Structure 1
Amino acid sequence: MRAEIGIGTRMPMISCASGKFLQAHMTEEQVDSLFPGEALPPVTARSLGTKSELKALFPEIHGLGYALNEEEYAEGISGVATGVADKNGTFIAALSVAGPASRFRDEMWIGQLMEAAAKVAELLAGRL
């Protein structure tokens, strides 16, 4: 199985781990401005259907420090993402990894992903 997402590909923020992580760290007003209505546009059969469902994930994302995508952008593909913070602690970007859902295990990637995000944050802050 091969899944390829080319450079410059745009993904709906509601259906990828990076987007969900970044939205979890936005203000409620910012999220509401992105999605004024309650219904969210469907991407796959596993996509979140409502803004309430999306917002219900935010406390878990905050607690874990990462977000998941479970076949929400493309059927058969799952992923995990964490954020890159600036020197003030504001998340300005996200790093993610994805793979075939049948054998993708987020726990295999979370530690390395969070370590890489911390290094990028240090580089941005001029500490490395």
Structure 2
Amino acid sequence: MTSNSKHRPVETVDTAFEIIDVLKRKDGAGITEIADELGLAKSTVHRHVKTLEERGLLLQEEHNYRISTWFLDYGVYVRNRHPLFDVVKPKVDELAAETDEKVWCVIEEHGMGVHIYGAEGRHSVKTHARIGKRTPLHQFAAGKAILAHLPDERVDEILTEYGLAAKTSQTITDREELNDRLEGIRERGYAFNHEESVRGVHAVGAPIRDQSGTAIGAISVAGPANRLRDTALAEELPTLLLGATNEVEINLAHS
């Protein structure tokens, strides 16, 4: 065995997850479509798909296969066991009711922002965000709030791996500009999103930090740009968010 062999991916497992990714992206597909997408033989895809179906991970609908709710059980389990979830959930609900906007709690995992819980106010707008959604941290307010409160070496690792891809024309794609923004976030304690992830939507995000000051998550409030502006965006929402995150931090420290 060579020194690097233990780090090589298990090919069959890798193929299985590539198939699952295709089915998620295409909202279901047949054997031929999957094979063409991955450049694999149809016989290979068929064996993998049938194994996944027998294990309950896939469902067959006529000639197409779809991902089953088997994943839902695991996703809910992972979300519910996260130490932040039980503490942050009532505060997210409270903020949504108080602001009438969409409120999210986001964590960092494998260098991406993951939405673990959200609540809707009476006037909240629909965006692409959803529970389980993984988003580059530099593209949205909660993500930038987290980046600003991670160790420098961790930030370097994340940005080296994922880069600074643009989601909209307003997304920060320059490393020096991002560094300046992160410094500003550290100074004031919260981050802004001015249409950087969704056109026409503004947001404010504040970190949830552990006792060492490192971010373990963030809460954000998002809404239409014409409603979240001026003092509402610059003063009122940040004040509410900082109070909420501080309360969560205290509860976490004593839970």
- What's the TM-score once normalised by structure 1's chain length? 0.88
CA displacement at 1:92 relative to structure 2: 1.2
RMSD: 1.9
Q: Which structure has the bigger radius of gyration?
A: 2
The answer for the alignment partner of 1:3 in structure 2 is 126
Summarize deviations over 1:16-65 as a string: whole Å, max 9, x none: 1111111112233222211228x621110101121221111122111111
> Which letter does structure 1 place at the counterpart of 2:252?
L
The answer for the alignment partner of 1:31 in structure 2 is 155
1:98 equivalent to 2:222? Answer yes
1:17 equivalent to 2:145? Answer no
Structure 1 residues 47-66: aligned runs within 5 Å: 47-66=171-190
CA displacement at 1:89 relative to structure 2: 3.0
Structure 1 CA distance for aligned equivalents of residues 207 and 136 of structure 2: 17
Summarize deviations over 1:76-124 as a string: whole Å, max 9, x none: 1110011112233332111110100111132221111111101111110
Structure 1 CA distance for aligned equivalents of residues 125 and 147 of structure 2: 28
Structure 1 CA distance for aligned equivalents of residues 173 and 211 of structure 2: 35
Structure 1 residues 107-118: aligned runs within 5 Å: 107-118=235-246
- What's the TM-score once normalised by structure 2's chain length? 0.46
Q: Is the 8 A contact 2:150 2:214 kept in 1?
A: no
Structure 1 CA distance for aligned equivalents of residues 194 and 138 of structure 2: 12
Structure 2 CA distance for aligned equivalents of residues 85 and 35 of structure 1: 21
| Structure having the larger proportion of residues in helix | 2
> Which letter does structure 2 place at the counterpart of 1:112?
L
Aligned partner of 1:76 among 200, 219, 240: 200
Q: Aligned to 1:21, what secondary structure does the other structure show?
A: helix
Structure 1 pair 88–28 and aligned structure 2 pair: CA distance change class (3 A) = closer
5+ residue gaps, structure 1: none
Q: Which has the higher contact order (CA 8 A, sep 6+)?
A: 1
Q: Is the 8 A contact 1:11 1:73 kept in 2?
A: no
Q: Is the 8 A contact 2:151 2:214 kept in 1?
A: no
What percent identity do the matched residue pairs reach? 35
> Which letter does structure 2 place at the counterpart of 1:122?
I
Q: Aligned to 1:81, what secondary structure does the other structure show?
A: strand
> Which letter does structure 2 place at the counterpart of 1:70?
H
